[in-house]
Amino acid sequence: MMRLFYGLRLPSEALHSMEQLQNQLRAQFPRARFPAPETFHVTLAFLGDTPVQRLDTAKRVVNALLPAPLDLQVSHWGTFPQEKGEVLWLGLDPSPELDRLHRLLAHRLQEAGFPLESRRFQPHVTLARQVPFASPDTPRKLPAFSPFPLPCETVSLLRSHLLPQGARYEELACCSSKSPV
């Protein structure tokens, strides 16, 4: 079994901005867990544990996407509740193009026989996990930032390796708006 998901690779300029915000969070929440900046991504679809025999099918799905370039914008903080503390993320402005790509990917996955997630698509980039928010007001005390662009051109099929020091992602296939890879 392999833990698989589809995600958007992020440009270095945006990664730098996100890393600066993450460094501010490190000072504010020293006991939280922080993913390495090189692992930042926007998840499009999570397949979870997938039999190795399905890998070629999963690769064909991403290779058939041919996404258009996406001009996204990071604009706000958000959280997801978890037992050990909140997941803290940067959210994206609504994007019809991103929604269209997500629906196309979901359709192709369903056609290929992969189960779809039931939760609503919430495009985001996770900056911290196990954040011990002391009160409901804590999110209002997060570092302020000006919205910044997040141009994305590549959809990747990624394998997640869960390690004690944090997840590591291995790109298994990708498709770019510049040219299929």
- CB-based burial label for 83 (10 Å; 0-12, 13-18, 19+): exposed
In the set 16, 102, 124, 161, the catalytic residue is 124
In the set 16, 41, 107, 161, the catalytic residue is 41
Q: What is the DSSP string of 50-81?
A: E-GGGHHHHHHHHHTT-PPPEEEEEEEEEEE-
The tokens for 67 are: 């996404």
Is 41 among the catalytic positions?
yes
Is 107 among the catalytic positions?
no
Helix (H) or strand (E) holding 166: strand 166-176
SS3 of the chain: helix, strand, coil, percent, to 5: 30, 40, 35
Question: Would you name the residues annotated as active-site residues?
Answer: 41, 124
